[in-house]
């Protein structure tokens, strides 16, 4: 793909994410996307074939970007599993802060039954869960994870917590610092209610 074509696709992605933040995907038209991106309507069809093609490509692109950021944060932390987890959480929150519309798309489409993009989202969800699960398993191997809690279940809970906590932060308390939200998520992850 040429740099110009890549730049056009990125503008279309960005426009779709901005517009979806206010209305969700159902309320966004190809005309809206093209106008917001500053391109002709035909450019959307040329690059993606249809609005559904654009959304499918957007989902793949967004989750791929999120996965890369999370993986890079873990690698940057090196051997420190807890620092890797904190970096991963911060990277996910930074992504959601930058692309809240994309995150709203994920929340609205992942758990919709039946969803228009369920077949596309299931493997993408799995990709993110695997990153979370690998890091939580590293934390568990260091003895810093509650005994008896299945790592897969914790990864699923963390994924949902990240999405909902971040969107709640951006909608209701945007003045809060991202580090504060990150620390709250990590504290919640570390806390375990003891039976009475």
Q: Where are the domains of the chain?
A: 52-190
**Gap between the Cα atoms of 124 and 83, Å rounded:** 25
Check the CA dihedral 153-130-164-21 and report its sign: negative
148: left (phi over 0), alpha (psi -120 to 50) or beta: left
Check the CA dihedral 67-72-77-78 and report its sign: positive
* Residues written for the chain: 196
Maximum separation of any 2 CA atoms in the chain, in Å: 64
* Residue-level pLDDT at 192: 58
* Residue-level pLDDT at 133: 95
Is residue 155 a contact partner of residue 129, using CB atoms and an 8 Å limit? yes
* Residue-level pLDDT at 34: 92
The architecture of the domain spanning 52-190 is Orthogonal Bundle (1.10)
**HSE (side-chain half, CA atoms, 13 Å) at 89:** 28
pTM: 0.86
Segments of the chain scoring below 50 in pLDDT: 193-196
* Residue-level pLDDT at 194: 45
Is residue 117 a contact partner of residue 57, using CB atoms and an 8 Å limit? no
């Amino acid at each position: 793909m040429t740099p110009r074509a890549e730049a056009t696709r990125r503008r279309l992605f960005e426009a779709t994410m901005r517009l979806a933040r206010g209305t969700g995907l159902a309320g966004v038209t190809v005309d809206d996307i093209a106008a917001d991106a500053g391109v002709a309507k035909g450019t959307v069809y040329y690059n993606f074939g249809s609005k559904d093609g654009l959304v499918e490509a957007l989902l793949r692109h967004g989750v791929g970007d999120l996965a890369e950021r999370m993986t890079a944060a873990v690698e940057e932390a090196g051997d420190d599993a807890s620092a890797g987890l904190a970096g991963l959480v911060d990277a996910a929150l930074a992504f959601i802060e930058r692309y809240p519309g994309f995150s709203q798309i994920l929340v609205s489409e992942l758990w919709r039954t039946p969803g228009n993009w369920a077949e596309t989202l299931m493997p993408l969800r799995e990709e993110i869960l695997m990153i979370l699960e690998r890091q939580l398993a590293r934390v568990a191997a260091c003895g810093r994870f509650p005994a008896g809690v299945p790592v897969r279940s914790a990864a699923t809970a963390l994924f949902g917590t990240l999405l909902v906590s971040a969107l709640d932060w951006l909608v209701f308390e945007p003045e809060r610092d991202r580090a504060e939200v990150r620390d709250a998520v990590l504290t919640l992850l570390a806390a375990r209610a003891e039976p009475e």
